[in-house]
Amino acid sequence: MKLLATIMTAFVAINHYGFMALEMFFWNHPTGQKIFGTTPEFAAQSAPLAANMGLYNGFLATGLVWALFTKQTNVKLFFLACIVVAGVFGSITAKSSILYTQALPALIALILVWLVSRKSA
């Protein structure tokens, strides 16, 4: 189960680096517009906001990578919980699919990391 928790945490980190790239570098690109369902006009107007969201996703991913390398369970739990909360909030305020693409994988990883930490204690 420890390996599965590590794999899921890494998966969440990789996803968030992907979200970062989409929001920071591909928001104005046809690929980003297709994924996010935006028009070129909206993408141009909202690009600074998207870049800011992307930066935050990058910080979350980096926090998870840091936690994986240092093996700090509390740091993993913290960043995974932050992603779950952000995903739930995003699903309520922006797009319901965020619940499944961001919050659910982070919740699964959070539960796995928590279960592994309980076994170790």
Q: What's the whole-model pTM score?
A: 0.93
- Spell out a b/e string for 68-92, using b for 16 or more CB atoms within 10 Å of the CB, else e: eeeeebeebbebbebbbebbbebbe
- Summarised one tens digit per residue, pLDDT across range 49-107 is 999 999 999 999 999 999 999 999 999 999 999 999 999 999 999 999 999 999 999 99
- Summarised one tens digit per residue, pLDDT across range 24-45 is 999 999 999 999 899 999 999 9
Q: Specify the pLDDT at position 121.
A: 65
Query: CA–CA separation, 56 vs 14, rounded Å?
Result: 14
Assess whether pLDDT exceeds 80 at residue 120. Answer: no
Query: CA–CA separation, 59 vs 37, rounded Å?
Result: 25
What is the mean predicted confidence (pLDDT) over 5-31? 97
Q: How confident is the model at residue 2 (pLDDT cuts 50, 70, 90)?
A: very high
Query: CA–CA separation, 57 vs 10, rounded Å?
Result: 14
Q: Specify the pLDDT at position 1.
A: 94
The residue extents of the domains of the chain are 2-120
Q: Specify the pLDDT at position 117.
A: 95
